[in-house]
Structure 1
Amino acid sequence: MQQEPSDMEQLQEQSISTVAQMLNDCGIDADENSIETPTEGQLANLLSNLLKYGVLIASAIVLLGGILYLIRHGAEPAEYRVFRGEPSEFSSPAGVLSAVLSGSRRGIIQLGLLLLIAIPIVRVLISLVAFLLRRKFIYVSVTLLVLASLIYSLVGAYY
């Protein structure tokens, strides 16, 4: 024989479901005890998609350039006695773009590598803008420090 729940039990169940619904609406995960607003979730999705698809696109460009290069030069013997550095046209992004537009297979590979380098920089820039908009200045300062170190490492290679 089954008894009907008392009023007190019904009230407890109702309050538990109400609290769970409120936590869910606020973005609080009961398992992780973390608060995440919808804009933070959207930013996280944007940044993860940028990294994921950016790396896939850059890798596909490098692969395409590598395949095209091997089709043309794959049967040539390698000359290991003489070291030949990177041509001067690949020492700047403008040179890489002009090489790609002229049909250079090595230029396509270099373009993919440039994109691979640019993806984390774009990610830091997007984070910086998001932190500025939210007025989280401690994160802005840390992000500026990261951005400065990334730029210094790129510029330092030329000087």
Structure 2
Amino acid sequence: MYEYNTGIYQKTVQPNSESVVISVPPQETNDVKIAAQEVTNNCQTGVKTSTEQQLEYLLSNLLKYGVLLASAFVLLGGILYLIHHGSEPADYHIFHGTPSEFCSPVGVFGAVLSGSRRGIIQLGMLLLIATPIFRVIISLLTFLLKREFIYVIITSLVLASLTYSLIGAYF
């Protein structure tokens, strides 16, 4: 039996005597082999350097503990506010805007130091807003140290946008 296998079709011829199997793998062009090799070489299969791992660990902890700290301040301020004002009836007939002391970070810190319960809640909200801003700042400093200027430019644009959105309200 003679067998010819090209990978696409298989042809079998049966003579009276011997049996020989011939298998020919499908031919790949050199371009396909080179492209596959380049893809394999360019792909990093999850291998990170120790500095990248340290940066990821630092940024993940910053975000995690920043949100936890902000949540703790909001919860503490909310509990203290409800202890003091929880039994008061709500008056929705008159609109009461936000006091001027809560319109700036300096006013919020002053309110917290004076013992204001709403000030503690506002401080938690400021911490929640500041957490991703600190992440961008740390990323910017890391990219500067690594001299990756493309990422420095992109991160600077993100930081400028965040800064403008926060400070632009005052001008």
TM-score, with length taken from structure 2:
0.73
Flag the structure with larger Rg: 2
Partners of 1:68 and 1:106 in 2: CA distance: 9
Task: Report which of the two has the higher share of helix.
Answer: 1
Partners of 1:144 and 1:35 in 2: CA distance: 27
Number of matched pairs: 129
Partners of 2:128 and 2:54 in 1: CA distance: 23
Q: 2:52 aligns with which of 33, 40, 46?
A: 40
Deviation at 1:51, TM superposition (A): 0.2
Deviation at 1:158, TM superposition (A): 2.2
How do residues 7-46 of structure 1 correspond to structure 2 at under 5 angstroms?
33-46=45-58
Letter in 1 for 2:127: L
Deviation at 1:62, TM superposition (A): 0.3
Give ranges in structure 2 of 5+ residues lacking alignment. Answer: 1-43
- Say whether 1:66 aligns with 2:78: yes
Please tell me the root mean square deviation across aligned C-alpha atoms, in Å. Answer: 1.3
| 1:75 matched residue in structure 2 | 87
Partners of 2:77 and 2:164 in 1: CA distance: 28
Q: Considering Cα pairs closer than 8 Å and 6+ residues apart, tell me whether 1 or 2 has the greater RCO.
A: 1
Tell me which moved more, 33-42 or 124-133: 33-42
How do residues 1-159 of structure 1 correspond to structure 2 at under 5 angstroms?
33-159=45-171
Partners of 1:111 and 1:93 in 2: CA distance: 8
Partners of 1:69 and 1:154 in 2: CA distance: 27
Partners of 1:156 and 1:76 in 2: CA distance: 37
Give ranges in structure 1 of 5+ residues lacking alignment. Answer: 1-31
Partners of 2:99 and 2:46 in 1: CA distance: 51
Letter in 1 for 2:96: R
Deviation at 1:152, TM superposition (A): 1.1
TM-score, with length taken from structure 1:
0.78
Task: Report which of the two has the higher share of strand.
Answer: 2
Deviation at 1:35, TM superposition (A): 3.4
Deviation at 1:36, TM superposition (A): 1.2
Partners of 1:105 and 1:89 in 2: CA distance: 13
Identical-pair percentage: 72
| Superposed structure 1 runs of 4+ greater than 4 Å apart | none
